[in-house]
Amino acid sequence: MAASISDILISRTSGQLIVMGVLNVTPDSFSDGGEFLAPADAVARARSMIAAGADIVDVGAESTRPGSRRVDAADQIDRLREILLPLCQTARTAGAHVSIDTTRAAVAEFALQAGAAIVNDVSAGRDDPAILGLAAEAGAPLVLMHMLGEPTTMQAKPTYNDVVADVRDFLAERLAAAEAAGVPRERCIVDPGIGFGKTLPHNLALMANLDQLATPPTPILLGPSRKRCIGEIVATATGGDAPPPQERLGGTLAACLAGRRAGATIVRVHDVGPLVQAMAVDSRIAAARRPDA
């Protein structure tokens, strides 16, 4: 049975792992663009991820890969119109939840009315501040992510004084903004934004120090799935070319395992089944450790 909303929000205290499956209904996402544009394909993909162990299906109609162009709210809604209702019904039947990955209040409102339960905003309420009040009014959990700049330019020489401290301070400020808009702190989730305006050293520093980014009980979401930084690490280790996104599963699993030990309790991935399997084995091994070892 999938985790409840309450389970998700207290996961940092309980230690329960929450799995968020990625569903991109876009023509240009970096690893699966165009694969799930048809409603039947999108719903089938969601059903398979839930069956594999996803607690949340995160659906987005705008790519935010580096260099991507913005998609206005009307076009996002058009992409979602025939997908969201059956998707939410599928999730509800299985006890799972749908989150809407958008920075636009109009899109979030459309999704919440269709049955989505969570708002996932990569701009943390900066693109469209009305999204904060919308989440407050709906009582929806809100994911606030760090991004340096915007997708079009975010990878153009990203610079920080201290990436962990800078991201921590940003997230604290956005949590305060959400609270001021009426979203209780206990209904917020934070995400360091791996790959969103970060170099490889920035990403590594963040993934190694996740527990420093927000005080408990605020859950920390980690989304390293198939990201460029994984390809860069593999290329350096092997002396070859970076593998394409679809061939970064091993690196994704390693990043998620490390991230969980560093403080993340929500992981956002494309490949739900292998992640659930890896986490189950890792947990059983950890549980078997002798207290005096």
Q: Is the pLDDT of residue 64 over 90?
A: no
**pLDDT class for 68, splitting at 50, 70, 90?**
low
Long-range contacts for 279-286 (Cβ within 8 Å, ≥24 apart)? 279/17, 279/19, 282/257, 283/17
pLDDT greater at residue 6 or residue 293: 6
Instruction: Report the mean per-residue pLDDT for the chain.
Output: 93
* Structural domain count, the chain: 1
Mean pLDDT computed over 143-165: 87
Q: What are phi and psi of 268, to 5 degrees?
A: -110, 115
Percentage of the chain modeled with pLDDT above 70: 96
pLDDT of residue 239: 94
Q: Name residue 13's amino acid.
A: T
Neighbours of 153 (CB within 10 A): 13
pLDDT of residue 12: 97
Mean pLDDT computed over 232-245: 94
Domain assignment of residue 149, yes or no: yes
Q: Is the pLDDT of residue 181 over 90?
A: yes
Q: Is the pLDDT of residue 155 over 90?
A: no
pLDDT of residue 69: 74
Find where tokens 């968020």 sit.
20
Alpha helices in the chain (DSSP H): 5-9, 11-14, 39-52, 73-80, 84-94, 105-114, 130-138, 163-180, 200-208, 228-238, 249-262, 272-287
Q: Is the pLDDT of residue 217 over 80?
A: yes
Reduce the DSSP state of residue 97 to 3 states and report it. Answer: strand
Give 76-130 pLDDT, tens digit per residue: 999 999 999 999 999 999 999 999 999 999 999 999 999 999 999 999 999 999 9
pLDDT greater at residue 1 or residue 104: 104
Q: Is the pLDDT of residue 67 over 80?
A: no
pLDDT of residue 1: 77
pLDDT of residue 31: 53
Q: Phi-psi bin for 128: left (phi > 0), alpha (psi -120 to 50), beta? A: beta
pTM of the model: 0.94
Respond yes or no on whether the N-terminal peptide bond of residue 39 is cis (omega within 30° of 0): no
- Encoding tokens for residue 145? 């992510």
Residue 31: burial class (beta carbons within 10 Å; 0-12, 13-18, 19+): middle
Give 20-56 pLDDT, tens digit per residue: 999 999 875 545 556 777 889 899 999 999 999 999 9
Q: What are phi and psi of 22, to 5 degrees?
A: -90, 125
CA distances from 106 to 75, 76, 110 (A): 11, 10, 6
Domain assignment of residue 197, yes or no: yes
pLDDT greater at residue 224 or residue 291: 224
Which residues are known to be catalytic? Answer: 227, 268
Domain assignment of residue 9, yes or no: no
Closest CA to 272 of 114, 116, 96, 115: 96
Domain assignment of residue 130, yes or no: yes
CATH number of the domain that 139 lies in? Answer: 3.20.20.20
Closest CA to 80 of 125, 110, 105: 110
Percentage of the chain modeled with pLDDT above 90: 83
For the beta sheet containing 266-269, the strands, ordered from the edge strand earlier in sequence to the opposite edge, are 188-191, 142-145, 118-121, 97-101, 56-60, 18-24, 266-269, 221-222
pLDDT of residue 149: 78
Q: What are phi and psi of 158, to 5 degrees?
A: -65, 135
Domain assignment of residue 1, yes or no: no
pLDDT of residue 146: 97
Domain range holding 173? 16-286
pLDDT of residue 9: 98
Mean pLDDT computed over 153-174: 92
